[in-house]
Amino acid sequence: MRYLITFSYDGSKYNGYQKQVNVRTIQEEVEKVLTIINDNNSVSISASGRTDRGVHALNQKAHFDLKINITSDKLKMAMNSMLPNDIYVKKVEEVEDDFHARYNVKNKEYIYKINMGEYNPIEKDYIYQYNKKLDIEKIEKAIKFFEGTHDFKSFTAADDIRDNYERTIIKTDVRLENDVLTMTFVGTGFLRYMVRNIVGVLIEVGEGKRKIENIKEIFEAHDRKEAGKTAPAEGLYLKDVYYR
């Protein structure tokens, strides 16, 4: 039977989502629990995509196959009883055998949070503690330059070598509440570090260190060095994954 889970996690204590040797990862913790539930038969999960070290997820999605016969409700209960308390399964559903959590994705939504107010040690792992004012009006104008279909080579990791860097951002949004600035990005897909590199540029625009018109030049350069600093991981959340 193939299952799809929706789960959230606090990425601050993990070395990212993807399983790696000798480091703690989200994938490893989930697979370890599922293997036990599956009568100690090894289980591999396929997620909608990976998140980097320190990045959080509100609604990550992953599918997997089990040999045992178990209802969705009981599987959810069993998983949450064994998972660490910084990973939580919100929903379990049965899906068709040809469903794929990554390849069936239509859109993804990411948010990035920046604290422009006083430093908050309690939230340091969950909101980027920028602790200075930014020009919100300029950021609102600049973020719209990223909507549409573009070659995002200048906004991905320097070592991310591929044939196609084209992605489509469908919607962006900027909201300010209690000194916390939240940027939203909805798109068909995202490259490694893409959102954090975009946010890095938007911060520079808000600081007055970069002109809004420079964004077009960054796109045209096809060069990661033109985009400036990568925003810290702790402010980034995978908010949702859409299949319809």
- To the query of whether residue 52 is one of the catalytic residues in this protein, the response is yes
User: Alpha-carbon distance 237 to 55, whole Å?
Assistant: 6
**Residue reference for tokens 């997820």:** 57
Catalytic, out of 10, 52, 159, 163: 52
Pairing of β 56-65 and β 128-129: unpaired
Query: What amino acid positions are annotated as catalytic residues?
Result: 52
